[in-house]
Structure formats: structure tokens, C-alpha cells
Chain A
Amino acid sequence: MEISSKDIRFYPLGDTAVILQFEESISDQVQRTIFAVSHFLDEYSFEGLVEYVPAYTSVTLFYDPLLISYSEIVQNLGEMLDEIAIEEPVLESAILDIPVCYGGEMGPDLGLVARHCGLSEGEVILRHAQPDYLVHLIGFAPGFPYLGGMDPDLEIPRRESPRAVVPAGSVGIAGKQTGVYPLSTPGGWQIIGRTPLKLFDLDRTVPSLLKAGNKLRFVPITELEFERIANGY
């Protein structure tokens, strides 16, 4: 893997965080690097590191300034990046299947999306379930994935007035983006389906099902299959 501390810029985000900024645009290379850095930090934490947040082209590390200074943390990170480069890990995330029941009560905006895009409802489902999506980052709400890779023909603006309640598991489209609501919250995305999987579950050791760098695929299921998965059999 071709990463070196020389290609990365470091910025302070105030007095408790440092941003590792890779290239300014999204690429497979940057994504792999970010995934490698995240993996490394999971395995080898260091004194003063509180936590880290991966995003599209950056990783932000939060630290305790009473335990480590800014210059120390930047030096640590430089050494760490060189070490990752030497190890050359081949990190390819497995593709997760996310079952989705499209349309009907679970996807009330499917018809609208189809009309807007000049496609049949069936074609919208096919095209939405076609690509492998990449989780660029988790943000906005607990376990909420920002996904890259949607078919551009499915683009549709968000609803003019947001719904007061979007049920947990709802799969939506907003502009170029598609995503899944992990919790029941207000929301303005066009809802085309729902997954029975819990993207966020406090009873799990790791509450968020997805993390940055994961790849996933949406798999169309029937209402009956939805019920079966939701009820755990």
C-alpha cells in the first residue's frame, strides 16, 4: 500500500483533535488507506488517544491534551502511517447483504421515485439492488451509513416537508445519496423500502451493524420474508 506520512496533511481541530487529511477527493485508494488506518488504530491504540472518526477523505483523532501534546501526537501518527505502509495489509471488507422489502407500506415513496425517474417500480428496485455500496462514514445519527455507489438514474430531491416519523430500518434516497434510518426519527428522504435488520441495537456489544469501509448490497425480499427475519426465524 502506498501511503506515507508525507502525503498526508495534519490539521488541529481545536485543542483535543487532529485531522489526518488524505487527498481531497474520494477514491478507492483513499478509502483503503482510511480503512487500514482505522484497523490499525483498533489494534494499536496509544496513551492519550480517546477515539477516532473516519470520514470520506479524512480520519480525525480525538486525544487528551493532558496526556499527549499536539506535536507528540502528530509525530506518533507519522510513525504509525509509515508502519502501516510497511505492513501492506490487503484489507478488503466482505460484502454484507441487507434484505429490503421494497414498496407498499414499507416503501411509501417507491411510486413517486419511479415516476420522477421515468422508470417502473420494478426497475427502481432492480437498479437500487444492483450495485455494491461502500459505507463512506457513519454519521448524522447512531449507525446511519453514508453510502456511495447509487445508480445516478435514481436521483431524486428529498421531500419538501419531512415526515414526523420515519420507522427504523427505512431505506431512502436523497439526491445522489441512499441510506438506511437505523432509528425511528423524523426524516426527509424518499422512502422506498425497509430492512428487518437492526442497524443499531444497544443490546449488541458493538451497537452499530455497519462501520466505515464496509461494503453492502440490498437484496429484495417479500413481506413474508421480512416478518420471518424480523421475528428471528
Chain B
Amino acid sequence: MGINVTKPGLLSSIQDLGRNGYRKDGIIVGGAMDGLALRIGNLLIGNAEDTAGIECTLMGPELLFESAQLICITGGDLSPRIDQEPVKMWRPVFVKKGAVLSFGAGVLGCRTYITASGGFKLPLVLGSHATYIKAGFGGFKGRALKKGDSLEFANPYTGAQARSNWSADLSKLYPGIQDPVIRIIPGPEYDWFTEEAKQALQRQDFKLSTAADRMGYQLESVELPLKQARELLSSAVAFGTLQVTGKGSPILLMADHQTTGGYPRIAQVVSADFSLLAQKRPGEHIRFKLVTVEEAHALLQQRAKQFKQLKHTLMLKGIL
């Protein structure tokens, strides 16, 4: 027993924290665009951090619960409702058998995550549940969810309903997703660009175009020209790589980016700001701020500490 998809929403897919170890075979890491939201959503209902959940985009799905389950909704606020009643995010929610989870207006952010206690019953493909849509494997049948799909829960929920009646302070752990400032580290080809391009990178606004999806965001901005035309042999790229095409237009690579690319990499977004990026919508503006690798690592260490504190709190509550 599990969930029946009565409306799929704009793009709803099963994602975990990605498929590591196969980049050299051309297999993308993929996984949740906002991995932080998914991790928190899992912890709050006692799951392992990397349990797969449903990633919903801008317009959420409509899901009929064919059996009761403890769930959590995190990430962007797409106005979740259960049987038409608004439901709180960032806390465990007990959903009764026969209830319908639906979404309304996108209030804040772009992507929301639904986690279920124990996760979903799906086959692991190369060690992950992440849906790799382009290659057609992983997740639920290797594709986005469609009307009529039945997603089975890994475990029926047998715990107490009362476990849902609390919330944790996550203000330090999860960033204010309205913040337009994205921190970057200079990329391998940073010095190939003109001084003007380097200045513009830090001073100008960049607008997410409508071509913004799980593979990458095309950005609208002033041109970022190279000092001189140079050919780059394809090399590895990553989530958050800011590459600049021959026309001087920047593209920000996201979770489903190809493993290698041949455009000069002017910068790389720090991992700590991936949630901010994942929650930006087409049409929104962002700005970039340069930091060092050491500063970026300090941000990650700080986050790891906050995670530890959250886990400690959850252990005291008997959740983990």
C-alpha cells in the first residue's frame, strides 16, 4: 500500500542524494536539487538522511494516500494541503488512509520534498534511487511521475500519530531561500576572462531565463567575454559549475548536468549554497560573491555541526 498519483504536477520525481562513483562512465550523479531540504525532511521522521523522497517542482502533484503514513514536507513552499486544509511544513505529519495531499500556489522557492517514514519500495539502480530521466533508469521506472502511478511505501506506518505534534528550530540549518547572493569560487578558466568579465561577475545581476531545469540554468546577463578565443578540451564539470558558452552567455550546471563539458568554467558555486540555487525560479535574479575554497569548507563544517545538533535533538525526542 502506498500513494496513488492522481495529478503528477509539473515535474515530480523520486530523488535521493545521488549516484556517486560512476561519473567516469558518463553516469550523472543526479539526485535532489535541494539535497539539504531532503536530508532534513528525512531526519525529521526518523529516516536515514539519504532515503529517497519525491521532488516536486513549482506546481506540486496531487497524491491519494491508500494507506496511512508519517510524512514530512520540506524545501520550497508550494502551499501543501491535506484534504484542502493547509498543512505545516518542516515537521512530521500523520496522513490518514484515504487523505489527499495536494499543492496550491508557489509561495516561496521552486522545489518541495515529500519524505515518507521508511521511504518507498523501489529497486536500487547502481546504488541509488535517484531518477535519471535522460537515461531512463532509477527512481520510479526511470521517469517522472505520471497520473495513475502507484508508489508503494517500504514500510506500513505503525507508530503513534502523536509523534507528529512538534517542530524543530531549523532557522540556522536551512538558509533563507530569498537571499539572492550566491557564493562562488573562481573556476579553472577564471583567468581566461577579461577584467570586465571578472568585474561583471561580481557586480552585475544575473537573471534565470525560462530555460532553467534540472540539467542547468541559462542565465541572462551582460556578456562575459574571454581575453581571446581559446579552445577547451572537454573536462569534468560539477553541480554548480558556471560555464560560459562561445557567445559569452553563462550557464549554471545543476543536478542532472552531463559529467563533462567543453566550455570555459569561470566559477563554481560553493556546495553550501546549492539549496539557494535549487530554490530559484525562472525570472529571478541572483548575484555572485567570490570566496575562497577554505571559506567554502568552513561553511560545510559549520553545516555539519548544525546537522549533528539536529540529530542530537531528534535522539533526545526519540525520533532517531
Q: Which 7 A-B pairs have the closest CB atoms?
A: A14-B268, A139-B260, A60-B236, A15-B296, A208-B25, A56-B233, A53-B236
- Complex alpha-carbon distance, A187 and B317, angstroms: 53
Q: Does B301 contact A (CB under 8 A)?
A: yes
Question: Which of A63-71, A91-99, A111-119 contacts the other chain?
Answer: A63-71
Q: Interface size (B, Cβ < 8 Å)?
A: 40
Q: Which single member of B21, B185, B268, B296 contacts A51 (CB below 8 Å)?
A: B21
> Can you spell out 16 A-B residue pairs with CB atoms less than 8 angstroms apart?
A13-B237, A13-B238, A14-B269, A14-B270, A19-B188, A51-B22, A51-B23, A53-B24, A56-B233, A56-B234, A66-B301, A70-B297, A139-B26, A142-B27, A146-B234, A207-B25
Chain A residues with CB below 8 A from B150, complex form: none
| Given known A17-B238, A19-B236, A138-B25, contact A65–B300 (CB-CB < 8 A) | yes
Q: Interface size (A, Cβ < 8 Å)?
A: 46
* B236 x A14 contact (CB < 8 A): no
- Complex alpha-carbon distance, A185 and B25, angstroms: 17
Question: Within A40-79, which residues are at the interface with B (CB < 8 Å)?
Answer: 50-58, 60, 62, 65-66, 69-70
Q: Does A140 contact B (CB under 8 A)?
A: yes
* A55 x B26 contact (CB < 8 A): no
* A53 x B260 contact (CB < 8 A): yes
Contact mask B66-77 → A, CB, 8 Å, 1/0? 000000000000
Q: Does A12 contact B (CB under 8 A)?
A: yes
Q: Does B187 contact A (CB under 8 A)?
A: yes
* B125 x A202 contact (CB < 8 A): yes
Chain A residues with CB below 8 A from B21, complex form: 50-51
Question: Within A15-33, which residues are at the interface with B (CB < 8 Å)?
Answer: 15-17, 19, 21, 24, 26
Q: Does B20 contact A (CB under 8 A)?
A: yes
Task: Quote the shortest CB–CB distance from B145 to chain A (angstroms).
Answer: 21
Question: Within A179-222, which residues are at the interface with B (CB < 8 Å)?
Answer: 182-183, 185, 200, 202, 206-208, 211-212
In the complex, the chain A residue whose C-beta lies closest to that of B183 is A15
* A51 x B258 contact (CB < 8 A): no
In the complex, the chain B residue whose C-beta lies closest to that of A55 is B235
| Given known A66-B300, A211-B24, contact A13–B265 (CB-CB < 8 A) | yes
- Complex alpha-carbon distance, A13 and B264, angstroms: 12
Task: Quote the shortest CB–CB distance from B160 to chain A (angstroms).
Answer: 35
Instruction: Give the interface centre of A15, A24, A50, A51 by most chain B CB atoms within 10 Å.
Output: A15
